[in-house]
């Protein structure tokens, strides 16, 4: 190699000294993150981290790809409208969503579902993340703590949400598989209510976490078992019962919703048949509401 200037061993020594001097003089504008291995934060997903129900957004993505029927999407839409209007979860709708989801995955490969989850997250969910909740999660990461999602959503989708947001990992509902193919059965029940608290305790044992130093975030009174399992519970976009409980016990309340009356009654915008499905679902929901009065 032709040199553009004379080179000597003295030059190499001088260059080495210059590099060492520059490194010695370097300073960082930020403090290094000190790992805090005994503390973690646990975040619910639906209406806590993401607007609406993640399983509904997933169903929308499937319908857009002609992998879900009109009837399936209508069932999900009804649950979503109820979720948005009432601001609370409904056991009947949760059960319906579970049965529809299990029927869809039965006989499909894990790899196929993961690929679909990745596509649908980027297409339907990424722009529905509550930025305020994400900022709360990042603060825990900046403090050197683990951040886990805890959700009834299928674990494959929960993991992708976690990965896309740069979080530690996810606890979600586990569907049974044999040889990389879904059987159409769950391992246990949906990760919901007390099951979330059980998952948090099990992970704490596995990771050596001190639950009294951990935090949890949710929008739903149904997640009270998880919230009371940790030392630092938080209410995020809370339903009425959780807001009352949080105020009574002095828990921090974070509400990132804007134009709440509009947001809570707005129909989800689905591709293609979404407007019609949403209208039908809204009509059914309103008829049931008036009948109950």
Catalytic residue numbers read 44, 46
Burial of 145-176, coded b for 16+ CB within 10 Å and e otherwise, reads bbbbbbbbbbbbbbbbbbeebebbbbbbbebe
Residue 57 φ then ψ, to 5°: -60, -35
> Tokens in use for 110?
């894990």
Sign of the torsion angle spanned by Cα atoms 243, 238, 212, 226: positive
Distance CA 239, CA 235 (A): 9
Closest to 117 measured CA to CA, from 64, 172, 61 = 61
Residue 54 φ then ψ, to 5°: -60, -35
DSSP conformational letter for 180: T
Q: Half-sphere exposure of residue 139, counting CA atoms within 13 Å on the CB side?
A: 9
Other Cβ atoms closer than 10 A to 94: 19
Chain-centroid distance of CA 54 in Å reads 8
Helix extents (H) in 7-69: 9-25, 54-64
């Amino acid at each position: 190699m032709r040199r553009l200037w004379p080179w000597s061993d003295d030059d190499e020594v001088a260059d080495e000294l210059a590099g060492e001097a520059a490194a010695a003089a370097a300073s960082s504008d930020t403090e290094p993150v000190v790992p805090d291995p005994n503390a973690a934060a646990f975040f619910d997903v639906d209406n806590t981290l993401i607007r609406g129900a993640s399983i509904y957004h997933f169903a929308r993505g499937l319908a857009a790809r002609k992998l879900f029927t009109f009837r399936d999407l209508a069932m999900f839409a009804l649950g979503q409208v109820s979720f948005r209007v009432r601001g609370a979860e409904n056991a009947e709708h949760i059960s319906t969503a579970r049965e529809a989801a299990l029927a869809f995955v039965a006989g499909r490969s894990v790899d196929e579902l993961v690929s679909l989850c990745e596509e649908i997250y980027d297409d339907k969910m990424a722009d529905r993340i509550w930025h305020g909740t994400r900022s709360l999660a990042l603060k825990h990461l900046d403090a050197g703590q683990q951040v886990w999602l805890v959700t009834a959503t299928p674990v494959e989708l929960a993991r992708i949400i976690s990965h896309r947001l740069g979080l530690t990992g996810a606890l979600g509902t586990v569907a049974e598989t044999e040889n990389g193919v879904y059987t159409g059965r769950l391992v246990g029940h949906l990760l919901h209510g007390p099951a979330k608290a059980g998952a948090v305790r099990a992970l704490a044992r596995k990771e050596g976490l001190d639950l009294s130093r951990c935090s949890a975030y949710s929008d739903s009174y149904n997640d009270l078992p998880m919230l009371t399992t940790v030392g630092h519970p938080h209410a995020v976009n809370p339903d009425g019962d959780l807001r009352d409980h949080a105020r009574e016990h002095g828990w921090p309340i974070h509400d990132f919703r804007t134009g709440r009356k509009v947001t809570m009654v707005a129909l989800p915008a689905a591709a293609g048949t979404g407007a019609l499905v949403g209208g039908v679902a809204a009509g059914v929901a309103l008829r049931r509401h008036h009948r109950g009065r």
